[in-house]
Amino acid sequence: MKIISSTDAWDFSDPVVFSLGMFDGVHLGHREIINKLLLFARREHRPSVLLTFNPHPRQFLSGACHWKYLTSLSEKADHLSNLGVDYMIVQSFDEAFASLSPEHFVGDILIKKLNICSLIIGYDHHLGRDKKGSYTHLKTLSLDYGFILEQQPAYRLCHRAVSSTNIKKALSERQLTWANAALGRPYSFYGIVIHGNQLGRQLNFPTANLAISSEKFLPAKGVYAVKVFLEEKEFIGMLNIGNRPTINSKETRIEVHIFDFAKEIYGHTLQLQLIAPLRKEKKFSSLADLKNQLQKDKEITRKILHDLMISQKAIK
């Protein structure tokens, strides 16, 4: 997949099959749109082009300073590339872009610059200033300009619409099973290993403290069973997100205990996949009680991940 820095940088003249949106998470609902995009592209023998925005339009329009994303731009690009999209345009969402009317956006950007022959949109998508470009409005414009317009209906999982907003809500409520199913993969994030206060070593549960992007969305505080990836090697472990109330800490820490692992990895980048929630964060009466609970957490984590491995083998 080739990444284009803006619509102004697009310099191809051939007609394209096109879609646009944030695609944050590249979840199952997004994949339905992308599958249709690729189907149309193959059928019409045209390249598939997807336009996404940076920052999120809602972040720009609301003035929010700390918008949280399910996928970083690079993670999104990796997922889209793996799905087979030919081009991703990353459009800066600024005052000039936000002020475009649906007519100007379609006529000046989609037709004159990008030369679209088909447009695939989601069920809740609106184009242009003040979201005036509804499906009905776009249908009229498609007839005026002669391009095919296709709207993908909502994708539902367990009677719940799959959307980035609903996935964030599920993660915030520790509903990891639904969130992972809606994503089509375990929710994951990357972190750089930094120095901590080494309390875990005192408890015989050494942890890797992680620094992650301030824009990354985090699930609810608590303990999770996770898979850990380091330099293409896979490990298992348990992750804690929280303030460590047993030692009266106020600082939120993200730390992972990797099972059967003893290397120094400061400065290395880990990828963590969240597999299952274990428990909420809790204040224990002593470090000894905390250590006993960590041992129980470890045993439960081993069982969860062992059972997962068995079930995956059975499916294969």
> What's the pLDDT tens digit per position in 135-166?
888 999 999 999 999 999 999 999 999 999 99
pLDDT for 211 equals: 96
Q: Which of 74-78, 134-138, 306-310 has the lowest average pLDDT?
A: 306-310
- Write out the two tokens for 147: 């391009």
State phi, psi for 152 to the nearest 5 degrees. Answer: -85, 125
Residue 180 maps to a domain: no
d(CA 210, CA 226): 14
Whether residues 229 and 271 share a domain: the answer is yes
Tell me the per-residue pLDDT of 201-244, one tens digit each, with 9 for 90 and over. 777 888 999 999 999 999 999 999 999 999 989 999 999 999 87
Place of tokens 């949280």: 68
Q: Kindly state whether residues 153 and 13 are assigned to the same domain.
A: yes
Q: Is residue 243 part of a domain?
A: yes
How many structural domains compose the chain?
A: 2
For residue 128, pLDDT over 80 is answered with no
CATH of the domain at 289: 2.40.30.30
Q: Both 144 and 240 in a single domain?
A: no
Asked if 190 and 151 sit in the same domain, the reply is no
Q: What is the reported pLDDT for 313?
A: 66
233 & 87 share domain? no
Q: Is there a single domain that holds both residue 145 and residue 257?
A: no
Specify if 171 maps to a domain. no
Q: Are residues 85 and 195 in the same domain?
A: no
Listed residues 157, 177, 194: the one ending a domain? 157
The domain in which residue 12 lies consists of: 2-157
Packed helices 73-83 and 28-44: angle between N→C axes, nearest 10 degrees: 50
Establish if 167 belongs to a structural domain: no
- Is pTM, for the whole model, over 0.75? yes
Q: How far apart are CA 316 and CA 304, in angstroms?
A: 19
273 and 136 within one domain: no
